[in-house]
């Protein structure tokens, strides 16, 4: 046996299992963190308020998005043949894109909730009723699913000239670039959905916070402290997620050949891995009610 070839094989095998262990540990950590906070919010009636219901929906979405990526990625790491069937590829596109869409929708709804709580406190409970909360959450998920389903229906009939995707997961634009048939409708709809999914929610969030800032500057010290304590986690989550998504949009649409391939992979996975870890830690540490209930459960 060639000693050099055996060493290369052992090194490759060791690296494969190391990557599998890291990715699996990350996935399990995401599952545990998000499930824990979902259970804490659902079990404690004192947390059955609009803000925590929206947070619960956000944590459910983190589990959904992570599950759309990690099981497939773990199989690909262990497999020597990196292939994926067309139905599974379309399913992953649906999961990843709907995850992004739901995330931005829920963050926009949460900014509206904070706006009502800080700028219209006397009208808050009449406007943000339990029925309204359920409706906003349901619309966020339904709108996202229908929007991305249309995207899948547009790319499914495309005739492909190639079968190699230079990504670690399936992406809409990667399929479109392989197409031999006309893709004008796909490109237009893709850009339209990107604008509608990313920029419209961000603009709505910014408008909400402009009004919140106006009230804070003209209000009491207590109002400012309340705004800072409840809005800081939300803004941090928005900035973190927006960075990951915007980079993924840029690198999928434009060739960034000067950047190392490993950096490409890490940054393309950022919004699917860091956000599901970032949100539970961020909200769990900043929201005093969640923190108290969490520690109370641990003491028991």
Q: What's the confidence (pLDDT) of residue 110?
A: 92
- For residue 80, pLDDT beyond 90: no
- Tens digit of each residue's pLDDT (9 = 90 or more) over 211-245: 888 877 776 777 677 677 777 788 888 888 888 88
- For residue 9, pLDDT beyond 60: no
Measured distance CA(216)–CA(159) in Å, rounded: 56
- For residue 162, pLDDT beyond 80: no
Q: What's the confidence (pLDDT) of residue 53?
A: 93
Q: What's the confidence (pLDDT) of residue 106?
A: 94
Q: What's the confidence (pLDDT) of residue 87?
A: 85
Length of the chain: 300
User: Domains in the chain and their CATH numbers?
Assistant: 3-299 (1.20.1070.10)
Q: What's the confidence (pLDDT) of residue 104?
A: 93
Which structure tokens are listed for 298? 């641990």
């Amino acid at each position: 046996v060639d000693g050099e070839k055996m060493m290369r094989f052992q090194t490759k095998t060791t690296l494969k299992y190391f990557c599998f262990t890291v990715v699996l540990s990350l996935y399990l950590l995401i599952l545990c963190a998000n499930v824990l906070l979902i259970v804490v919010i659902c079990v404690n009636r004192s947390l059955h308020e609009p803000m925590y219901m929206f947070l619960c929906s956000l944590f459910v979405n983190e589990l959904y998005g992570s599950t759309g990526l990690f099981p497939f990625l773990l199989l690909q790491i262990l497999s020597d043949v990196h292939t994926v069937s067309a139905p599974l590829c379309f399913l992953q596109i649906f999961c990843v894109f709907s995850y992004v869409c739901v995330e931005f929708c829920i963050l926009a709804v949460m900014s509206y909730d904070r706006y009502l709580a800080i700028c219209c406190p006397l009208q808050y409970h009449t406007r943000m009723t339990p029925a309204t909360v359920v409706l906003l959450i349901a619309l966020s998920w339904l709108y996202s699913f229908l929007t991305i389903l249309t995207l899948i229906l547009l790319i499914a009939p495309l005739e492909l000239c190639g079968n190699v995707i230079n990504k670690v997961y399936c992406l809409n634009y990667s399929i479109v670039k392989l197409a031999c048939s006309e893709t004008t409708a796909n490109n237009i709809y893709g850009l339209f959905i990107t604008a509608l999914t990313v920029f419209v929610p961000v603009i709505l969030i910014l408008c909400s916070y402009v009004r919140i800032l106006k009230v804070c500057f003209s209000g009491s010290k207590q109002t400012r402290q309340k705004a800072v304590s409840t809005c800081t986690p939300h803004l941090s989550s928005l900035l973190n997620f927006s960075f990951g998504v915007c980079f993924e949009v840029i690198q999928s649409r434009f060739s960034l050949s000067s950047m190392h391939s490993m950096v490409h992979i890490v940054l393309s996975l950022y919004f699917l891995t860091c956000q599901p870890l970032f949100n539970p830690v961020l909200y769990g540490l900043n929201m005093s009610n969640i923190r108290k209930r969490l520690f109370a459960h641990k003491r028991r």
